[in-house]
Amino acid sequence: MPLRTLRILRASPTWMNPQSQLSKHFVRFSSYSSAPSGTVKINGHDVSVPTGIFIDNEFRSSLSGSKFNVENPATGQTVLEIEEGKGEDVDVAVEAARAAFEGSEWANSNPVWRGELLYRLAQLMERDKEDIIALEMMDTGKTRKQAANLDFPGSVGTLKYYSGWADKILGLTSFNIPGTFAYTRREPVGVCGQIIPWNFPLLMFIWKISPAIATGNTVVIKSAEATPLSALKCCELIKEAGFPAGVINLVSGFGKTVGNAIANHMDVDKVAFTGSTATGRAILKSAASSNLKKVTLELGGKSPNIIFPDADIEKAVEWSAWGINMNFGQTCHAGTRIYVHEDVHDQFVAAYTKRMSSLKVGDNFDESVDQGPQNSKMQYEKILGYIQSGKDEGATVSLGGKVAEVAGRGGKGYYIQPTIFTNVKPDMKIMREEIFGPVVCISKFRTEEEVLREANDTTYGLAAGVHTKDYERAIRITNGLKAGTTWVNMFNFVHWSIPFGGYKESGIGRECGEAALENYTETKAVYYNLGVPAPQ
């Protein structure tokens, strides 16, 4: 069935220049050609995956005809070829989203129905759970422990949570102003552009679309070029769930083309981005220089993890290990800077090194494995570069610091040993910059004032942890930490019902919880005159 004819607002070659006028030239695309589904063999089981861009509830070839390869990080080999969207495809997707947003079926939709759609999608995901988990593992290198016990239930839980919010987004009423009645409406923003990262492709896809749909918006979303498969599979289920055509559109492709086009598009009302701080800064500039679209950003981190002398050392070791082993350090809130009080420093380092050395690195489909491959060759080489930097600057490698040899791989795949640096100075590159890999730095401290100063001495402010049995101290320290999420006697625990986001250069706005709904609504005030005379 051909894509319905869409009128596309096309821009002149200089449209990204805020000084230029938006072109009035229109081009018609009567149809795309259909894109076939692909098949990926995972552990002897064939899993079908759509390979096209998803616009107006159809999977289509890109207008340019370009494609890109998706590789398995465990082997470095290509597993599938995906249609590569570009700016012209974003134009079509935005037009489809705009038509859906303004169409009566969606614009006047019962919020209960929107909630039912989200819940139905969750049910379909549960039905196809094993295929989705397998795709996520193969595409990202995640272990089953993480894909099945963290990412998948977190995604389904998020959908169900926001399905319950859809009919509870209410305004306020007031008779407090003499002679008037006033009320507010929470209205959807419109067409929302969303750009998600490669480290949690399934979870981030769901985190983005759920509050947007619950509040009545339409979506054009870009998946990361390294990990597009679970989002494509979810779009197949979105159509099956009964979402109207054009409500959710997915354009797979690269940041410099698809991401840039979304950020600069004059008919996108809001953009949400999760990724690096550098890219977030560029998106903010693009939003400002185009149509001043609303922006939320969830960006990088360099999270401190503080161990006080009264902490339960055994539990602190376990949570600190999870603080870096979650997704093998490829998470923005990883606990990469561990500050240990001098009274327990040696004890903690010995126990922590023993625990980290017990982690098994290998085939992520082996259920006994704790750490699979890093996500891509680029990320693998970046991490190794940081490890070399730490060595060159004089930090001590207490564990790891090398490529991990995995039996049967013949040197293929992107495996790195869990790495611990000690004797680290505050100005070292490994202490200042986000590494995004299985690398931690351990530093010694003496007083609360000293450790708070060092913990906050960063441009980031996403997360932080403190381990202590003294809850008065815990309150003092968590109050003093400049971070959007703080943990006491735990680390890397995030729930869909609690706001998540950062201070400083770690972002703008919050994901998850009721707070995320603010990102996707405009508040309209309405006044009724109940007898107030006009001013003379």
Q: Among 458, 140, 451, 139, which residue's Cα sits nearest to residue 277?
A: 458
Active site residue 298: yes
Decide if 205 contacts 194 (C-beta within 8 A).
Answer: no
Give the tokens for residue 80.
Answer: 């599938």
Q: What is the 3-state secondary structure (H, E, C) of 374-394?
A: CCCHHHHHHHHHHHHHHHHCC
CA-to-CA distance for 344 and 502, rounded, in angstroms? Answer: 30
* Residues 6 or more apart in contact with residue 136 via CB below 8 angstroms: 142, 147, 151, 152, 201, 202, 229, 230
CA-to-CA distance for 101 and 520, rounded, in angstroms? Answer: 13
- Strand ranges across the sheet with 173-174: 173-174, 180-188, 521-529
CA-to-CA distance for 137 and 333, rounded, in angstroms? Answer: 21
Give the tokens for residue 66.
Answer: 């370009």
Q: Among 250, 241, 232, 118, which residue's Cα sits nearest to residue 193?
A: 250
Residue 517's DSSP bridge partners are none
Decide if 248 contacts 238 (C-beta within 8 A).
Answer: yes
Catalytic residue among 298, 434, 505, 511: 298
- Tell me the catalytic residues: 298
